Amino acid sequence: MKLTVLADNNTYIDMYYLGEPALSFYIEDGDEKILFDTGYSDVYLKNAEKMGIDLTRIDHIVLSHGHNDHNGGLRFLPAKKSSYHLIGHPGSLEYKEDENGLQIGSFIDAEEIRKKCDITFTKEVMRISEHLYYLGEIEIMNDFEKRYAIGKRIVYGSKEDDYILDDSAIVYKGKEGLFVITGCSHAGICNIIEYAKKVCEEKRISGVIGGFHLFDADERLQRTIEYLKENQIPLLYPCHCVSLKAKIEMGKQLDIREVGVGLRLEIQ
């Protein structure tokens, strides 16, 4: 598998790409080409063009969840002769708002997206390519990573607390174990890893990249660090929604790697 970071909060010095508080990865598994999240704007397209990546050749678009720093770029998706195949949880294109009433969900609805994409909404595990799996709705498997509400969602015309059940991830089943690719980990990064182990019937974790949604030096962070240490994960790439404070605490006990736009990984 080859993975390239197209959008992230961070950019590297002397690599002149655009950054934004969002996430988008370009992934190749054999002949299959996958776009995982689309960032907030058209930044992912501009960076891909500069990297020589033709996104009109992708086969699948996978949404990690329904916040617009992950699906906002769908507005700018270039047209192509055949349809893209978009995969996501049924809640990944819902209207969402934060505690102040600001819209944080999709800017366009499923009907608009269907003009360019064939859509598969599912809560179940789905195979994307030979080695890549979409995890669907994540089971909560750790007591320190219980779901909590972030803003509101619209259900049958009424607003209700949004526990972001649409939050998911993808996993690459490789020779050295599982490589987990996540957007924001609202379901909990350790829950996601444990669920990936269960789904793939594999205990070895070769690496993790994506947002871990960790900000404060609190119990959840410490329990997460302990879990990651226990699992002896050699490649850890926390990015996007991980604060500097959290990265500093993680770096004291874990060998974490820097992530920025233009990062390229090859995983066996």
Can you say whether residue 185 is alpha, beta or left, with left for phi > 0 and alpha for psi between -120 and 50 degrees?
left
Entry pTM: 0.97
pLDDT value at residue 41: 98
Do 9 and 244 touch, CB atoms closer than 8 A? no
DSSP 83: P
Percent of the chain with pLDDT over 90: 95
Say whether pLDDT at 21 is over 90: yes
Say whether pLDDT at 80 is over 90: no
Q: Is 190 exposed, middle or buried (0-12, 13-18, 19+ CB in 10 A)?
A: buried
Say whether pLDDT at 146 is over 90: yes
Going by pLDDT thresholds of 50, 70 and 90, the confidence category of residue 15 is: very high
Which domains, ranges and CATH numbers included, belong to the chain? 2-266 (3.60.15.10)
Q: What span, in angstroms and rounded, lies between the C-alpha atoms of 36 and 239? A: 14
CA angle 169, 174, 176 (to 5 degrees): 115
Q: What is the pLDDT of residues 148-169, one digit of tens each?
A: 999 999 888 899 999 999 999 9
Q: What is the pLDDT of residues 206-220, one digit of tens each?
A: 999 999 999 999 999
Q: What is the pLDDT of residues 88-130, one digit of tens each?
A: 999 999 999 999 999 999 999 899 999 999 999 999 999 999 9
Say whether pLDDT at 81 is over 90: no
Q: What span, in angstroms and rounded, lies between the C-alpha atoms of 12 and 55? A: 22
